[in-house]
Amino acid sequence: MSLSLTRSHLANQKGNAMLDLDAEYLSDVHRQFRAELRKFVVNEIVPHAESWETDGAVPRQVYEQMGALGFLGLAAPTEFGGADFDALGTVVFGEELGRSGFGGVAASIADHADMALPVVVAAGTREQQRRLVPDVAAGRRILGFAVTEPGGGSDLTRMKTTAVRNGDEWLLNGQKTFITNAVSADLFITVARTDPAARGAKGFSLFVVEKGSQGISVGSNFKKTGWCSSDMSEVFFENFRVPAENLLGDEGRGFYVLMQRLERERMSMCAQCIGMMERALEITLQHVKNRPAYGHTLWDLQSIRHEMAGYASDLTAAKLLIYHAAAKKSRGESTRLETSMMKATVPQLMKRLVDGCVQMHGASGYMRGMEIERIWRDTRPFSLGGGAAAVMLDEVAKLL
List the catalytic residues. Answer: 265
DSSP 8-22: HHHHH---TTS---H
Q: Count of CB atoms within 10 A of residue 390's CB?
A: 11
The sign one gets for the Cα dihedral 336, 33, 81, 142 is positive
Rounded to 5 degrees, what angle do the CA atoms 79, 84, 90 make? 150
- Parallel, antiparallel or unpaired: strands 187-193 and 143-146: parallel
* 397 C-beta neighbours (distance < 10 Å), count: 10
- Greatest Cα pair distance, the chain, in angstroms, is 80
Of residues 169, 192, 325, the one with CA closest to residue 246? 169
CB contact set of 211 (below 8 Å; sequence gap of 6+): 185, 186, 187, 188, 218
Q: How far is CA 245 from CA 29, 128, 168, 242, 399, in A?
A: 36, 8, 8, 8, 37
